């Protein structure tokens, strides 16, 4: 048995279960895809506002 001279109590290490890690991974991926979709939609709206009148003249 190994003894230590440290006065700091050692607590048990907490780890995520496999299911929790999987749910966090899926949730994070959904969040990334949602942010990317909103960014693309924002660029499309901005492009329509900027170039919309010129496109309508061409048609």
Q: How do residues 20-58 score in pLDDT, each as one tens digit?
A: 999 999 999 999 999 999 999 999 999 999 998 887 787
Would residue 28 be called left, alpha or beta, if left means φ above 0 and alpha means ψ between -120 and 50 degrees?
alpha
How many residues in total does the chain contain?
A: 59
pTM summary value: 0.62
- The runs of H, that is alpha helices, within 1-59 are 18-58
49 is written with which tokens?
Answer: 């506002």
**What pLDDT shows up at residue 7?**
74
Q: How far apart are CA 32 and CA 24, in angstroms?
A: 12
């Amino acid at each position: 048995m190994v003894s230590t001279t440290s006065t700091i109590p050692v607590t048990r290490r907490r780890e995520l279960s496999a299911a929790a890690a999987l749910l966090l991974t899926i949730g994070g991926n959904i969040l990334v895809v949602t942010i990317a979709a909103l960014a693309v939609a924002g660029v499309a709206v901005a492009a329509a506002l900027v170039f919309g009148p010129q496109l309508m003249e061409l048609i």
